[in-house]
Amino acid sequence: MRDLNGNHAPGKPNSGPKAALPAVTADAQRRVYDILRLLMPYDMQGVGKRRIGGDGDGGYVLADLLTPDQPILSLGVGPDVSFDLELAQQGHMIVMFDHTVDELPATHAHFVWHKLGIAAQTAEDGVLRSLDDLIALLPQTGADPVLKIDVEGAEWESLAAASPRSLRRFAQIAIELHTLLDLSEPGFGARAHRMLSNLATDFVPVHVHGNNFGIAGLVGGFACPETLELTYVRRDLITTLPSATWYPTGFDRPNFDERPDHLLWHFPFAPGSAAALLA
């Protein structure tokens, strides 16, 4: 018997009573399917990838399209800034935002930190600001910036409310999505669909990785990790192909090295998933 990651699960198939799986309605399944299909990754024709940052939590995979004049808008600092530090050492200006920390865990001449956070709308006290207002604090280099966002759930409301014009400013977006196992809840599911549809207007996922600090489970009858890291690239910058990539890849590392990585060998992440798309 195997768990969702393909590992041997303890016990025998017939040992003890079995708990019934919660009933899933056809409507709930379709709602979750319509969200998950927006997370389907694609391959890039003629463009490679780079892992940036340390092994484990804090590293991200980007398309190999970076130029040093691109500023990085880094939302969510936390205890690890290896991603930001590596890019700063390569000449990028890193404009960092996090209202939950009192100091950065490391410094660099190219780091600019604002004790501010992101929200759907700018608050009266100015501590939480819309993406449009945060973009205004980026240096004007003439190059399209890159967005890195790990804000523990605030991504859903914030990017759902972001204007397409603001999102199109970015060449790439590396994002961590949280609480995906709640997608069958109508309110959260509608918000997630709105945000992912907003991104899909001009961006396409090109890399995906399950964060194994969170569990993997079932939502609406579909296997899914609770927390997911995705890389998006603006559509006009690449030519996409149906994915032939099995995740995780050689670029990926377990966020928590005492557990195996989540295997995303299922819809919508596995090769062949595009064939399962419904109208």
Instruction: Please state the domain extents for the chain.
Output: 26-273
Q: Given this model, what pLDDT does residue 147 score?
A: 98
The three-state (H, E, C) secondary structure of the chain, written as one string = CECCCCCECCCCCCCCCCCCCCCCCHHHHHHHHHHHHHHCCEEECCCCEEEECCCCCCCEEEECCCCCCCCEEEECCCCCCHHHHHHHHCCCCEEEECCCCCCCCCCCCCEEEECCEECCCCCCCCCEECHHHHHCCCCCCCCCCEEEECCCCCHHHHHHHCCHHHHCCCCEEEEEECCHHHCCCHHHHHHHHHHHHHHHCCEEEEEEEECCCCCEEEECCEEEECCEEEEEEEHHHCCEEECCCCCCCCCCCCCCCCCCCCCCCCCCCCCCHHHHCCC
CA distance 88 to 105: 14
pLDDT at position 88:
97
- Taking only the tens of pLDDT, the chain with its 279 residues reads 334 443 433 444 444 555 555 678 999 999 999 999 999 999 999 999 999 999 988 899 999 999 999 999 999 998 889 999 999 999 999 999 999 999 999 999 999 999 999 999 999 999 999 999 999 999 888 899 999 999 999 999 999 999 999 999 999 999 999 999 999 999 999 999 999 999 999 999 999 999 999 999 999 999 999 999 999 999 999 999 999 999 999 999 999 999 999 999 999 999 999 888 886
Q: What is the pLDDT of residue 1?
A: 33
pLDDT tens string 84-96: 999 999 999 999 9
Predicted local confidence at residue 56, as pLDDT = 84
Give the DSSP H or E segment for 158.
helix 155-161
Assign domain 26-273 to its CATH superfamily. Answer: Vaccinia Virus protein VP39 (3.40.50.150)
- 19-43 residue pLDDT tens: 555 678 999 999 999 999 999 999 9
> What was the pLDDT predicted at 233?
98
Which amino acid is located at 263 in the chain? L
Distance CA(238)–CA(225), nearest Å, equals: 27
User: 151 near 116, Cβ under 8 Å?
Assistant: no
